[in-house]
Amino acid sequence: MAEIKFSDETLALVHRIVKRYPEGKQKSALLPVLHLAQAEFDGWLDVPVMDYVASLLNIKPIEVYEVASFYSMYNLSPVGKCLIEVCQTGPCWLRGSDDIVGHLEKRLGIKNGETTSDGMFTLKTVECLGSCGTAPMLQCGAEYYEDLTPEKIDSLLEKLKTSGERSTYMKSRV
């Protein structure tokens, strides 16, 4: 396994993030740094990655594990290049999120929670993403895709497939 180490650029960013908090409170940087780690190391947090983050922030590995396992945006097992998260809570359900999930399952040939055999897509239902006025919706990386229809989903899947890039919360349209 290759050595686990942030790029120099990311490392500099980590140091800047740590400085936002008072001396000795560097643990506060844990959530933002875990986001960076997930973005840089294949979209999920393997144990050696979490240990590396612990060493960077000078905290115990268990302090990282307990946090990583608490928050829903951290993946503790590998996911496809594009993690498609479909909101299914009340307001989205009222406007047809069931159909959106159904359409995605059909198009991708997988069930909710599974990854396509080519490792391109993982489909996951999630709880309210704060997009109820533009329901139904899904999130892929930092992007929100709203007012979804089957046609919109088809062109989105095509676009994601062509780009072939890994989706990450850290990259966005601004």
Partner 1 sequence: MGKQILLEHINVPGIHTFDVYRKTGGYASVEKALKTMTPDQVTEEVKESGLRGRGGAGFPAGLKWSFLDRKSDKPRYLVCNADESEPGTFKDRYLMEKIPHLLIEGMITSSYALGARTAYIYIRGEYMYIVRILEKAIEEARAAGFLGNNILGTDYSLELYVHPGAGAYICGEETALLESLEGKRGNPRLKPPFPAIAGLYACPTVVNNVETIASVVSIINISADKYNDVGIGKSTGTKLISASGHINKPGVYEIELGLPVEEFIYSDEYCGGIWKGRTLKAVVAGGSSVPILPASLILKTAKGEPRLMTYESLADGGFVSGTMLGSGGFIVMDETACIVRNLWTYTRFYHHESCGQCSPCREGTGWMEKVLHRIEHGHGHAEDIDLLVDIAKKIEGNTICPLGDAAAWPVASAIRHFRDEFEYHVKYPEKVKNPRHFEIEPMQSSYTLAGTVNA
Q: Which of 72, 77, 117, 162 binds partner 1 (CB under 8 A)?
A: 72
Contact between residue 41 and residue 50 where contact means Cβ atoms under 8 Å apart? no
| Choice between 3 and 9, CB closer to partner 1 | 9
Contacts of 65 (CB under 8 A, 6+ apart): 47, 50
When asked if residue 71 is in the footprint of partner 1 (CB under 8 A), the reply is yes
Alpha carbon distances (Å) from 131 to 1, 3, 145, 147, 172: 40, 39, 9, 9, 17
User: Binding residue for partner 1 (CB under 8 A) from 128, 154, 155, 163?
Assistant: 128
Decide if residue 78 touches partner 1 (CB under 8 A). no
**Which positions from 7 through 36 interact with partner 1, judged by CB under 8 A?**
20, 22, 25, 27-32, 34-35
Per CB under 8 A, 112 contacts partner 1? no
In angstroms, give the least distance from the CB of 121 to partner 1: 19
Peptide bond into 136 cis (omega under 30): yes
Of 3-11, 67-75, 109-117, 157-165, the segment contacting partner 1 by CB under 8 A is 67-75
Rounded CA-CA distance 129/132 in Å is 8
